[in-house]
Amino acid sequence: MAKMKKHQHPEEEEGGEAWLLPYSDLMTLLLAVFIVLFAVSNVDKGKVEKMSGAFKEIMMTGGAGIFSGDSKEIGIFPDGGYPVINSKNYSQENAQAAQAKNEATTEKDVQQFLGDNEMKDMEALKAEIDSELQSENVASSVTTSIDMRGLVISFNNAILFDSGNAKVKEENEKALLEVAAMVNTTENYIRIEGHTDDIPISSKIYASNWELSTARASSVVRLLIDKGNVSPERLSAVGYGEYKPVDSNETPEGRAKNRRIDFIVMSQKYNNLEKQN
C-alpha cells in the first residue's frame, strides 16, 4: 500500500516569522517619534559639545579626576553639577576645590535641612564632645563637624589602630567610650564608618582596603556594645575603603586625613530612614 503523503499547510512554515512585520513597523514608528521630539526640542549646541568633551576626557583618562567647574553649566543634578569621581589620580587642587564646594553647600543648607531645634541640639552636643576631647588631649587627632547626616566625630586611624590592624588600641579606648557616654544621652542612631587612604594593603588577613575599613568599623561597634553600653539596635558599621576621601591622596598629610573612623550621631531624618529598615 502506498504511503500517503503528509499534507503540509504553507502557513505553518511561515507562522514563526509572522511577528517580524508588525515588530519592525513598531520600531519604525518609535524611531519617528524620537526624531520628531528631538527636532522640536531646544538643543543647546554649546552644552552638547561641552558634555561630549567632558565624557571624552573621562574615557581617555580612565575615569581619573573630576569634572571641571565649567561642567556645572551642563549638569544633570539639581545643583547643576556632577559627582566627584574618586581615583588615585585625584589631584590636590581638585580635592581642595571639591572640599570648598562641599563646605559652602553645607554651611548654606545644613541649617535648613536640620531645622533650628535640632541644629541647636547638635551644636550643644558638639561643644560638649569638643571639651571632653580637649581634656583627654586627643583634640589634635579628632575633629568634629555637623552636616546633613548629623554630628560627625572623625578619629584619625593612627590613634585607634596600628598599621594594617583592626583592633582598637587599649590605651586610646577611653576617648571613644567617653564620646559614647555623651551620645548615649540621646536616642539617635549611630553610624560608624571606616575609611583608608588609597595605598593598597598587603596582608594575609585583609585582601583589600574594603575589608580593613569594614573590620575597623566593626571593631569600634563591638567596643561600643561591650564597654560603652550602647544598644546594638542603634548601631551600624560600614567600610568605604579609599573611596570617600576628604583630602588629596597625593600627599602624606592628605592620606593621613583620609585614614579615619567617622563616628556619626545621625540626624532625625536619617534616624527615620534607619527605622524604616
pLDDT at 143: 94
Type and span of the H or E element at 144: strand 142-147
For the stretch 140-195, pLDDT in tens is 899 999 999 999 999 999 999 999 999 999 988 999 999 999 999 999 999 999 99
pLDDT at 52: 55
CA dihedral 122, 127, 131, 132 (to 10 degrees): -10
The residues with which 191 forms a beta bridge, in sequence order, are 236, 264
CA distance 99 to 83: 12
CA distance 14 to 87: 56
CA dihedral 146, 147, 152, 158 (to 10 degrees): -110
pLDDT at 72: 37
Return the C-alpha cell found at 258.
583620609
Angular region, 150: left φ>0, alpha ψ -120 to 50, beta rest: left
CA distance 61 to 271: 39
Architecture of domain 112-276: 2-Layer Sandwich (3.30)
Asked if 82 and 76 count as a contact pair (C-beta separation under 8 A), the reply is yes
For the stretch 57-77, pLDDT in tens is 544 444 443 333 433 333 333
CA distance 94 to 68: 9
Asked if 179 and 186 count as a contact pair (C-beta separation under 8 A), the reply is no
Task: Give per-10-residue mean pLDDT for the chain (277 aa).
Answer: 48 54 75 70 58 51 40 37 37 48 62 92 95 87 94 95 94 92 94 96 90 97 96 96 95 95 95 79
Rg (CA), the chain: 28
Name the pTM for this structure.
0.63
